[in-house]
A and B are shown apart, each in its own frame.
Chain A
Amino acid sequence: MRTKIKALPWQELLLPLAAVVLALLIGSVFILYVGENPLTAYGILFKESLGSVRNIATTLQRATPLMFTGMAVAFAFRAGLFNIGAEGQLYIGAFAAAWVGFTFANLPRIIHLPLAIVAGMAGGALWASIAGVLKAKLGVHEVINTIMLNFIALFLTDWLVTGPFHGGSWVPETARISASAALSRIYPPTRLTTAVYLAVVAAAAVYLILWKTKRGYELRAVGLNPSAAEYGGINVARNTIIAMAISGALAGLAGTEQILGLHNRFILRFSSDLGFMGVAVALLGKNHPVGVILAAILFGALQAGSAAMDRLTAVPRELITIIQALIIFFVAAEYLIRRMLRLKEDA
């Protein structure tokens, strides 16, 4: 581990910004390729995502699950863990929340909704803890295990939703959750719900845990240098399990939000890579809660505007997926951008 010289704040912002600009530039090559004008396409994208209060609400709605998965990945990163399993944790959390939602139909809202949310967090935490325990006790790297757990969670929920908990309709989905467990919409007709407040609370909690508690100090110490932390009397194994559990709980909240706020039932494979996009959001947000919120809003905006771009131009909406992938490339290749911008290397 090299010593890091603290970079200036403007540089911290400049790198993600450069990554986004580069990705949009390469994206415009794709737009030109299909015979459209990049300015027109990006103009529509911008207008449809941020051009009115209603569009901004849609953007925030699309950003909300990414705030949670981004926070999940970022939290683990801070503790030196690469949680690429947010997708699986999200599914387990979502199913747990849905189960509470449709099973305890007679509970008063004040109990039912929090209970469903806690169940979603617990589901995600439990699933992530499997990888945490295997890392802490047996030293198995969490990357492979969380990837494997993604697929196990996927097939497990596939089975639950087509088998024992099939709702009876012709589509693979569970019964509807009762209204007492559903999150309230805050800007109809958009589907933005109170989950966005929950995301802000979660971001504040992540900040407080990581930077204002002894536990957070330990987690970050383990993240920076596990052997030094161990030498300094910090229990690395214990902190690894705790970090994975908290990360998983955050991913579980993403799934919970999708069920209680958007779908109101568990639908087979409802997540379109929300967990994997969390990796992008975390990296772009520099693994900081505020950065994660901003990065999630950017990704949410791209998604919110993509439908109109698809409808009004010849550019397929998958351009957005390509741009999101390109952003990950460039954020990951910090070394490349630092050289392009002739910034001092902090290594």
Chain B
Amino acid sequence: MGDVIAMMFNTAVFAAALRMATPLIFAALGGIFSERSGVVNIALEGMMLTGAFTAMFVTYHTGMPWVGVLGAMLAGGLIGLIHAIFCVRYRANQVVTGTAINIFAGGLTVFLLRFFFGTAGTSPSVTTIPDITLPVLSSIPWIDRILGRQNPLVYLALVAVVVVHIVIYKTPWGLRLRAVGEHPRAADTVGVNVFKMRYISVVISGALAGLGGTYLSIAHLSRFSEGMTAGRGFIALAAVIFGKWTPLGALGACLFFGYADALQMRLQDIGIPTQFMNMLPYVLTMVALAGFIGRAVGPKASGEPYIKG
């Protein structure tokens, strides 16, 4: 039992949890933008997958992983734009469009993988973004083993949480965003362009989810493989709900889910099947929605197309 406790508070597990949480954090922040503007985004999975592929593809051709990051964000944003065009302009059902995007991304990435590399499984290996050592953090005992040396994207994810929190809660733009998601008619009446706000938010959502995918293919691993997001987009969605549509709440949820992920291999050794740990985010989200641990209630207008008039 002492071993289990020691393992649970092991700094290596915490550091791994942070790495596992990184792609989730980016995608969850993306989910928050979209949902806050009133557009349900179950397409995070497809956006992440597109990002992961593009990051690998651009890095493969340029040899510069940071250009890959940029490419992934653009590609994710483009998928977001498609989602927005169908949901905002053509009033398509947002869940249906999201499903279509997930299927589309799954097909397109393998289509391109097979066409360019002649293989369905995995891409060739590419240059990755190397880990860095942070000067101050790496000199604090205990903390240094968790935060001292990590991938730049891990730090970027933490910074992004703070930035998104400030944007949503401390800026006029954030106020408008929340208004559009809660009560679009009222926002429209006072001169907020509902359509424009939703377009921008869903594109940002895609770019952030694409960034999350980047971490998988050119930081965590050095290649793209078919379906490599493996449901992470949905875990990010779960984190959005579990964190009650707030950046800080979602961060907490992502870290917790990342922690569960980091622990699963070690828990398997003491007889807990990994599948049970894999289920955890989804089970907890259902429990949260049912109201057993403080009811999770989303933005009011989320899922409703806005019709001006």
Q: Knowing A140-B290, A333-B86 touch, does A316 contact B115 (C-beta < 8 A)?
A: yes
Query: Are B111 and A318 in touch, CB under 8 angstroms?
Result: yes
Interfacial chain B residues near A145, Cβ < 8 Å: 286, 289
- Interface segment out of the listed B3-11, B22-30, B121-129, B272-280: B272-280
Interface residues of B, count at CB 8 A: 41
- B100, B273, B275: the one within 8 Å of A325 (CB): B100
**B111 close to A30 (CB less than 8 A):** yes
Interface: A204 (CB within 8 A): no
Provide the residues of chain B in CB contact with A270, threshold 8 Å.
none
A338, chain B: closest CB distance, angstroms: 10
Q: A189 CA to B11 CA in the complex, in Å? A: 58
Q: Which of B64-72, B102-110, B185-193 contacts A (4 or more CB under 8 A)?
A: B102-110
Identify B285's interface contact among A141, A148, A319, A328, CB under 8 A: A148
User: Chain B nearest CB: distance from A88 CB in Å?
Assistant: 10
Q: For B93, what are the chain A residues with a Cβ–Cβ distance below 8 Å?
A: 82, 332
- Of A151, A152, A316, the residue contacting B110 (CB under 8 A) is A316
Given the interface pairs A316-B114, A333-B86, the reply to whether A159 lies near B101 with Cβ below 8 Å is no
Question: Which A residues are in CB contact (< 8 Å) with B104?
Answer: 321-322, 325-326, 329
Asked if B91 and A335 make an inter-chain contact with CB atoms under 8 angstroms apart, the answer reads yes
Judge whether A307 is part of the interface by a CB distance below 8 angstroms. no
Cβ contact within 8 Å between A322 and B286: no
Answer yes or no: A198 CB below 8 A from chain B CBs: no
Bound-complex Cα distance A311 to B115 (A): 13
Indicate if the CB atoms of A332 and B96 lie closer than 8 Å.
yes
CA–CA, A336 and B91, complex, Å: 9
Rounded to whole angstroms, the CA-CA distance of A70 and B28 in the bound complex is 30
* Residue B133 at the chain A interface, CB threshold 8 Å: no
> Within the complex, which residue of A34, A147, A328 is in contact with B42, where a contact is CB–CB below 8 Å?
A147
Instruction: Point out the residues of chain B lying under 8 angstroms from A114, CB to CB.
Output: none
Please give, as numbers and ranges, the residues of chain A lying within 8 Å of B102 by CB-CB distance. 276
CB <8 Å contact, A144 and B108: no
In the complex, B139 has a CB within 8 A of chain A: no
Which residues of the other chain, B, contact A111 by a CB distance below 8 angstroms? none
B62 interfacial by beta-carbon distance below 8 Å: no
A residues less than 8 Å from B95 (CB atoms): 82, 84, 143
Known: A155-B278, A158-B275, A325-B101. A332 touches B92 (CB 8 A): yes
Is the pair B91, A329 in contact by a Cβ cutoff of 8 Å? no
A329 to B46, CA, bound (A): 14
- B81 interface residue per 8 A CB criterion: no
Given contact pairs A152-B282, A335-B90, A276 touches B115 in the complex (Cβ within 8 A): no
Indicate with 1 or 0, residue by residue over A20-48, a CB within 8 angstroms of chain B CB atoms. 00000000001000100000000000000
Nearest neighbor of B226 in chain A, beta-carbon distance = A318
Please, which residue of chain A has its CB at the minimum distance from the CB of B118? A316
Residues A321-346 near B (CB distance < 8 A): 321-322, 324-326, 328-329, 331-336
Q: Write out, one digit per residue, whether chain B residues 15-50 have a CB within 8 A of any chain A CB (1) or not (0).
A: 000000000000000000000000010100000000
> How big is chain A's contact interface, by range?
35 or more
Q: How far is the CB of B102 from chain A (nearest CB, A)?
A: 7
Inter-chain CA distance A158–B276, complex, in Å, is: 10
Residue B150 interfacial (CB < 8 Å): no
Interchain nearest-CB distance for B135 vs A (Å): 41
A260 at the interface (CB under 8 A from B): no
Bound Cα distance from A326 to B115, whole angstroms:
20
Which parts of A293-319 form the interface with B (CB within 8 Å)? 314, 316, 318-319
B111 touches A319 (CB 8 A): yes
Choice from A141, A162, A321 contacting B107 with Cβ under 8 Å: A321
Interface 9-mer from B173-181, B198-206, B230-238: B230-238
Measured CB to CB, the nearest residue on chain A to B92 is: A332
Kindly list chain B residues whose C-beta atoms are within 8 Å of the C-beta of A147.
42, 234, 237
Shortest beta-carbon contacts, A-B, top 6: A321-B107, A325-B104, A328-B100, A332-B92, A159-B275, A318-B111
Name 28 interchain pairs, CB-CB below 8 A, sorted by A: A82-B95, A84-B95, A134-B290, A144-B289, A145-B286, A145-B289, A148-B234, A148-B285, A149-B286, A151-B282, A155-B276, A155-B278, A158-B275, A158-B278, A279-B96, A280-B99, A280-B100, A283-B96, A316-B111, A319-B107, A321-B106, A321-B107, A328-B97, A329-B92, A329-B100, A329-B104, A332-B92, A332-B100
16 extra A-B contacts, CB within 8 A, seeds A147-B42, A280-B100 = A30-B111, A84-B95, A138-B291, A143-B95, A144-B241, A148-B234, A149-B286, A152-B279, A152-B282, A156-B275, A159-B273, A280-B99, A318-B108, A321-B106, A325-B101, A329-B82
Binding site for B on A (CB under 8 A): 30, 34, 82, 84, 134, 138, 140-141, 143-145, 147-149, 151-152, 155-156, 158-159, 162-163, 273, 276-277, 279-280, 283, 314, 316, 318-322, 324-326, 328-329, 331-336
